[in-house]
Homo-oligomer: A and B are copies of this chain.
């Protein structure tokens, strides 16, 4: 019984939708991060970048971020602390709730969001060039339908 040969004849553990999704998602993020770093927003690649990505430009209650981002409120606290220290956002009291704080974008943060939107459009345009606008739309639709399920 040539067990080792049989073993090695097994398919690679890599040929499935899940792996393909991860690969392209990682690649997309690398492209995004590289382009953002080139525009001076290298910090967007780190965890605090995700906070800015979830922020409405008009500002947002800090308490809304944990559920939106899927992390704990203490994690949000720490990330916002860093963004405040770097002058990307500020924390102001919530006029409608004595306990709450509003996280508001400073100019540097607003610029990052504007540049981020541009970069996303550029990447999407490159994708459309490669597979065609129709197939890209079909891809987006399929991703949406599959995500709905669970």
Binding site for B on A (CB under 8 A): 3-5, 7-8, 10-11, 13, 16-18, 20-25, 27-32, 53-54, 56-59, 113, 116-117, 120, 123-124, 126-127, 130-131, 135-136, 138-140, 142-147, 149-150
Contacts and interface: CB of A to CB of B under 8 A. Distances in A.
B120 A131 contact: no
Total identical chains = 2
Contact of A149 (B4, B32, B113, B130): B130
Contact of A7 (B56, B126, B136): B56
Contact of A120 (B3, B16, B57): B16
B147 A13 contact: no
A24 to B, nearest CB: 5
